[in-house]
Amino acid sequence: MSILAYDLGASSGRAIIGRLNDSKMEVEELHRFPNDPVQIGNRLHWDILRLFHEMKQGLLKAKNQGVDVQSLGIDSWAVDFGLIGENGELLGNPYHYRDSHTDGVMEQVFQEIPKEEIFRKTGIQFLTFNTIFQLAAMKRANHPMLQQAKHFLMIPDLLRYFFTGERYSEFSNATTTQLYNPVQGGWDADLLNQLGISEAWFGKVLPSGSQAGALRTSLCEELGIGRIPVVAVAEHDTSSAVAAVPATDKHFAYLSCGTWSLMGTEVDAPVINDLALKLNFTNEGGAYGTFRLLKNIMGLWILQESKRQWEREGMSASFPELIRMAEGAPAFASLIDPDDPLFLPPGDMPSRIREYCKRTGQAVPEGPGAVVRCILESLALKYKYVLEWTEKLSGHTYGGLHMVGGGIHNILLCQWTANAIGKPVWTGPAEGSAIGNLAVQWISQGVIKDIWEARRLIRDSFGVTMVEPEFGSEWTEAYEKFRELTGLDEQDD
Ligand code: LFR
């Protein structure tokens, strides 16, 4: 029996087929397609219709290869959305969360609604691009779409709507809007009213793993396929990735490592207290009543964007080549806080890194080797910092760190992470989000009992590689330097 997971990332999308054979999970990539954001003037958009087109190509490939798809589910990045008009059509292209229209908006919103109140209601960390601030930015700009909108749908909800014609929100992704109240269990009507956003746009929120209709007839006719059932999986990709962490212990720490690095733990209820607010930790909703107490770290985005810059300058080197260059560069010559706002928007990262190092009185990394070394060492040190706080906030200590997502192919980063935290790193699976997406479909069909059976199956099927820390005092010393120059010492006081 084959099922299909669409996993959409910030730079590419995949259609992945999953099968269960002799109690082992098997995955096969059917279709991979680019997801290039499109800049028009000052605005940055997702090319949502092209994504839908490519998703349809995935279904055609399945048909032409004789794959009998029994169900499908979609996961993607969070916070972004589309607005639907009276006639049921999409109004305009969704904005990319890295668009600058939210610059300064968070602070403006805090003048109307205190930060503490938003956190108390939603439990969500403050990121300038959260849906709440995107909507406030559109309000500030008096965006014409706001007058015409009738429905609000997050990216996977929207694509699922294109597939099925049915409009539902899904829980894990709804929580990332910072407009959902996990304690009351619904959209926060007061927050929406205070923002001047119509509550009527926000529809029913389905628990992750719900049946959410089937492919609409017109699409089946267009593609010449049957009415495949659609599952609202844990549609936030991080939620799917964490569902796929092959942990054996209820209390575990994870790092979902891709464009973003998401680090934290799984908890049964949101941790909404002063410390979580101060440290800007989040409580995103997960599959089957779980919550992700975690923190966003800028992640491999800085490396990906540096590579794009070097390509624009005529230097093309693959990731493995760049990593080899980093290995040859001097250790701990310069460090950055990867979460400095400087690194959020697209652009010339190597120059911004040099600017940061100059500003903080450090050696300025010139060549790609030095820049990449600076990025990877700084990420590993930031992981240590966030892991320490995860332990304090959750009240548990962890014997090691589970690392999932494409970033695990970066062996140097995995090793440096183990060195920095002084604990083993267990890597795998790399296709965490897609596998979590498949697992939730199987659970919803009763083929797999629950999330813990899924995790055991994932461990048995894909294995886990242990990366032992190589002890040395240099990482401890570097951590002190990192805390000092990034200002993290002061934040903890
Ligand atoms: C990872 C992710 C993060 C979210 C960011 C923006 O792909 O979904 O969890 O904070 O993208 O949506």
Specify the ligand 1 atom closest to the Cα of 176: 10
- Render pLDDT for 279-294 as a digit per residue (tens, 0 to 9): 999 999 999 989 999 9
Domain boundaries, the chain: 2-237, 247-428+463-493
Q: What is the pLDDT of residue 491?
A: 67
CA of 239 to the centre of ligand 1 (A): 10
Predicted local distance difference test score (pLDDT) of residue 260: 98
Tokens, residue 490: 């002061």
Cα R_g (the chain), whole angstroms: 22
Q: How high does pLDDT run on average in the chain? A: 97
User: Mean pLDDT over residues 459-472, rounded?
Assistant: 95
The 10s digit of each residue's pLDDT in 418-441 is 999 999 999 999 999 999 999 999
* Average pLDDT, integer, range 215-235: 98
| Cβ–Cβ < 8 Å for 378, 338 | yes
Taking CA atoms only, the protein residue closest to ligand 1 atom 9 is 238
ipTM score assigned to the predicted complex = 0.99
Nearest CA to ligand 1 atom 7: 77
Give residue-wise pLDDT tens across range 80-138. Answer: 999 999 999 999 999 999 999 999 999 999 999 999 999 999 999 999 999 999 999 99
What is the amino acid identity at position 141? A
Can you tell me the mean pLDDT for 233-250?
98
User: Which residues lie across from 151 on neighbouring strands?
Assistant: 84
Question: What local confidence, expressed as pLDDT, does residue 228 receive?
Answer: 98
Nearest CA to ligand 1 atom 4: 78
* The token pair that represents 252 in the structure block: 């575990």
Q: Are 97 and 80 in contact (CB under 8 A)?
A: yes
pLDDT (tens digit, 9 = 90+) per residue, 368-420?
A: 999 999 999 999 999 999 999 999 999 999 999 999 999 999 999 999 999 99
Please give the share of the chain, as a percent, with pLDDT higher than 70: 99
Rounded to the nearest 5 percent, the helix, strand and coil shares of the chain are 45, 20, 35
Rounded distance from Cα 235 to ligand 1 centre (Å): 11
Q: Which residue's alpha carbon is at the smallest distance from atom 1 of ligand 1? A: 77
Domains 2-237 and 247-428+463-493 alike in fold: yes
97 Cα to the center of ligand 1, angstroms: 9
Question: Mind listing the pLDDT tens digit for each residue in 12-23?
Answer: 999 999 999 988
Which atom of ligand 1 is nearest the CA belonging to 10?
Answer: 7
Q: Which CATH superfamily is domain 247-428+463-493 in?
A: ATPase, nucleotide binding domain (3.30.420.40)
Class of domain 2-237: alpha beta
Residues 465, 421 contacting (CB under 8 angstroms): no
* Closest atom, ligand 1, to C-alpha of 433: 7
Residues with CB under 6 A from ligand 1: 77-79, 97, 236-238, 259-260, 262, 296
Average pLDDT over residues 158-176: 98
For 315-368, how does the pLDDT look when each residue is reduced to its tens digit (9 = 90+)? 999 999 999 999 999 999 999 999 999 999 999 999 999 999 999 999 999 999
* Catalytic center residues: 237
